[in-house]
Amino acid sequence: MMKEILLNDTLIRYQITYKKDNKNTYFHFKPEGYIQINAAKKQSHANILAFIQVNKDTFIRKYQKAFVVKKAKTTYQLFSKKYEIIKDGNVKNIQFDEEKGQVIEPFISQDLLDKQYKKIEKNALYKQLELLQVKYENNGLVDFSKITFKTRYTSTRFGSCNPKKQTINFNLHLANFEEKYLEYVFLHEICHLVHFNHSKEFYQLLMKFSPNYKTLKRELNNQFKR
């Protein structure tokens, strides 16, 4: 849990993690604006604070040097829902307050935050894919009953299809855009189960599923800045 200590006039946030394999206690000054303390298992909280107080001038100097002020994101979008980002040192995991339209983030490293968001976005994307499967399962044009869906973050493709392996990969970043764009990518990729390339026949089939696919593609590219 994130805690605070006042050194002179500087309020410093810190987080202690006890490591059973540590023989010593290590202090890491994170650019996110807190000290990560990896402590020896037998090291007491009081002794850690006493050490910081004795060496407070050094800690303040290193803390201020490490704290790089960045333009932090103030909003987060999960499909069509937008949330205001709130920081709270009393929570350990990302939480959503639907009534207030807020997402509450814990004071943890960006790496750990990214891992939590990845899990959230993966679950949300799979739920949307399940809805799309039901919506189009009896389409009469493409049989995707044996298809396996996978997800990962990519910087270029929104999706990819392997007809031989019967797998479709979806870009996890699609969870940050409106649902209609995931639906477009879904339809685009299942059409590749019939036509492996972007032939005239492919686009004719896609047109039957998504008459406005050109508009959706252009809008998604613009929003994704691709």
Range from 16-20, 190-194, 206-210 carrying the lowest mean pLDDT: 16-20
Q: Is the pLDDT of residue 82 over 80?
A: yes
**pLDDT of res. 110:** 80
Q: Is the distance from CB of 149 to CB of 170 less than 8 angstroms?
A: yes
To the question of domain 117-224 being in CATH 3.30.2010.10, the answer is yes
Both tokens assigned to 150: 């996978």
What is the helix, strand, coil percentage profile of the chain, to 5? 40, 25, 35
Mean pLDDT of the chain, nearest integer: 90
Q: How confident is the model at residue 70 (pLDDT cuts 50, 70, 90)?
A: very low
Q: Is the distance from CB of 191 to CB of 95 less than 8 angstroms?
A: no
**pLDDT of res. 69:** 45
Between the CA of residue 144 and those of 93, 140, 160, 162, 167, what are the distances in Å?
A: 36, 11, 14, 12, 10
- C-alpha span between 4 and 12 (Å, rounded): 6
- C-alpha span between 118 and 129 (Å, rounded): 16
Identify each DSSP E strand in the chain by its residue range.
3-7, 10-19, 26-30, 34-40, 75-78, 81-87, 95-97, 102-105, 148-152, 159-162, 167-171
pLDDT in tens, 88-130: 988 999 999 999 999 999 988 788 899 999 999 999 999 999 9
Return residue ranges of the chain for CATH 3.30.2010.10.
117-224
Both tokens assigned to 171: 């870009």
